[in-house]
Amino acid sequence: MSWPTPNPGDISSRAASVYEALLPGVDARNPNTVATANTRITEMAMQDLYYFQGDVAQEMFPDTAVANLQRIANMWGVPRVQPSAASGNVVIAGTPNAPIATGLTFSYPGSTIVYTSTSAVTIGAGGTVSVPVTADSTGAASNLAAGSILTLTSPVANIAPLTGTVDANGLTGGADIQSIAAWRTAIIAQIQYQPSGGDYQDYVKWAYAALPNVALATCPVAACGGGVVSVVIAMTDAVTGLLRAPTTGELATVQAYINNRRPVVAVPTVYAVVLNPINITLHVSPNTPTIQAAAQAALQLFFAQDAQVGGIGGTTYLSRLNDAISNADGEFYHELSLPAADVPAPTLFSLNVLGSESFV
């Protein structure tokens, strides 16, 4: 149970009652008496103690600690996952068969991040070559979409034009430092599920620890056995904040992290989550743009929370969906036409997410 913190007035009132009980005739509630002054002094001192006690209690536990979270994490061996830099390949053009040294530096319009090539290459007979690059700054801002145009920061012999194009895989793997919420979840998981020499939960914890933007990870029991281990992960999109499937580079990073920790006899494979959009057809009353927007916000919140509850391979329950819509600000009643029943994820590797929204 939580420790109740009384209101300031309650403390002084209790102190006044003690005065009046022990010293008959004393009016400890009259603002012009010494007794009343003493009750107020007691009130101020005790209120500080109550607040301090509440803060100490909060900082003792990993699910509520703020200032003490780092210490708890250190005790349980769960370091905060640090930010990472994006990497990938940039296609450049130039003189066929010309060698290009490592250390090329590229810039991107509107960004201060510099991308540096990490390997020497030779331009192919067709006049192009793919150059591996890594951002010199960490964070989600270092990611770039396929087709983005980078510019060499200075002219380089045998390269023309002085630009490069990010290949089809994009520059990926850049992630901000692990969020406090995700870090807290990892700490609690470490406490609840102790390392077990390659138990399913070990693989889940390793997946979360591999990259700071791993939002969901699971190890479906039905997809494991005989030394074969299947790990499914979903990522947090740095721009939208929504869940997404991992990129090829992110899968490779998590796979390598797990490979370095797995038991010798285990054969783990990391898979990308398969998003299963659930389309919504809905009538709300009052049927106004404001109420529709509130319903959309409620749906987005529901699917974000349901992903944590049901997880990958889980079921979206109609009753919970209706409850979420009923909580929309200003909604009086609603009729949900689609979906018409509970929606199980189609496969163990699937995750139900919000699809299109239609108001009728």
157: DSSP letter: T
pLDDT on residue 3 = 64
Q: Which amino acid is at 1?
A: M
Q: Right CATH number for 87-172 from 1.20.1260, 1.10.238, 2.40.30, 3.40.50? A: 2.40.30
The answer to whether 351 and 275 have CB atoms below 8 angstroms apart is yes
pLDDT mean over 190-199:
80
Q: How far is CA 60 from CA 48, 66, 71, 78, 161, in A?
A: 18, 10, 10, 16, 60
Distance of CA 264 to the CA centre of its chain: 31
User: For the segment 3-19, what is each residue's pLDDT rounded down to a tens digit?
Assistant: 678 887 888 888 889 88
Q: Which amino acid is at 73?
A: A
The phi and psi torsions of 37 (rounded to 5 degrees) equal -60, -40
Q: Look at the pTM and tell me if it is higher than 0.75.
A: no
Q: How far is CA 285 from CA 269, 338, 358, in A?
A: 48, 17, 14
- For residue 66, is pLDDT > 60? yes
**Rounded-to-integer distance, Cα 186 and Cα 205, Å:** 7
**Rounded-to-integer distance, Cα 4 and Cα 236, Å:** 37
In terms of residues, how long is the chain?
360
Mean pLDDT of all residues belonging to the chain: 91
Q: Which helix (H) or strand (E) holds 200?
A: helix 200-210
Using pLDDT thresholds of 50, 70 and 90, give the confidence band for residue 192. confident
pLDDT on residue 2 = 59
pLDDT mean over 205-234:
91
User: Which pair of tokens denotes residue 177?
Assistant: 């430092």
**Rounded-to-integer distance, Cα 270 and Cα 172, Å:** 17
The answer to whether 223 and 268 have CB atoms below 8 angstroms apart is no
Beta strands 243-244; 228-236: pairing state: antiparallel
Enumerate the domain spans of the chain: 8-59, 87-172, 195-272, 274-359
Q: At which residue do the structure tokens 């509850």 appear?
A: 309
pLDDT > 70 fraction of the chain, expressed in percent and rounded? 99
User: For the segment 253-279, what is each residue's pLDDT rounded down to a tens digit?
Assistant: 999 999 999 998 889 999 999 999 999
The phi and psi torsions of 38 (rounded to 5 degrees) equal -65, -40
**Rounded-to-integer distance, Cα 38 and Cα 259, Å:** 67
For residue 277, say if its preceding peptide bond is cis, omega within 30 degrees of 0. Answer: no
Pairwise pLDDT comparison (1 vs 344), residue with the higher score: 344
